Amino acid sequence: MVSNLTSIIPGTNHWPSFDRNTSEQFEARLTGVRINNSNSILFKGMQGSIMPIAIAHGEGKASFNSSSANNKIVMQYVDHSGKTSQTYPHNPNGSENAVASVCDDSGRITIMMPHPERVFRVIQNSWHPAEWQERSPWLRMFENAREWVD
């Protein structure tokens, strides 16, 4: 929904529209993403992380009008080797440039189609590395938001 508000949110003219998945299906499962270096306040200090994440959407295909968004790409879908992927099922919706998330120019507003709120505790994951213990790395995103507000 927020991606449709570009006319009233400054610094979002590069945001994509989210179209129907290439698979023509509702996709609900885990996939892998990589966090890129960006100015997103939510992903501060998470650059380079490759993690599983929940997806649940039928219209998650990021489609861009221009290539100006490349430096605002916060998160991309990756394959099992950590390389960005245009291939299904790694890129679950066919997003251009494997885009899973972008932010506005200021980094204060981040839009994404995956659902990190569904996997912030390890018990919510169907799989996780043993070193995660109780907390999933996705919890850091919410801690970053709270730190920014304080």
In three-state form (DSSP H/G/I as H, E/B as E, the rest C), the secondary structure along 39-70 is CCHHHCCCCCCEEEEEEEECCCEEECCCCCCH
Token pair 């507003």 in the structure block, residue: 109
3-32 tens-digit pLDDT = 656 666 767 777 777 889 999 999 999 999
For residue 81, give its domain range. 2-149
60-95 tens-digit pLDDT = 888 887 665 556 899 999 999 999 999 999 999 999
CATH number, domain with residue 139: 3.40.50.880
Query: 116 forms bridges with which residues in the sheet?
Result: none
Round to whole Å and give the CA distance between 109 and 91.
Answer: 23
**Count of domains observed in the chain:** 1
Task: Give percent of the chain above pLDDT 70.
Answer: 89
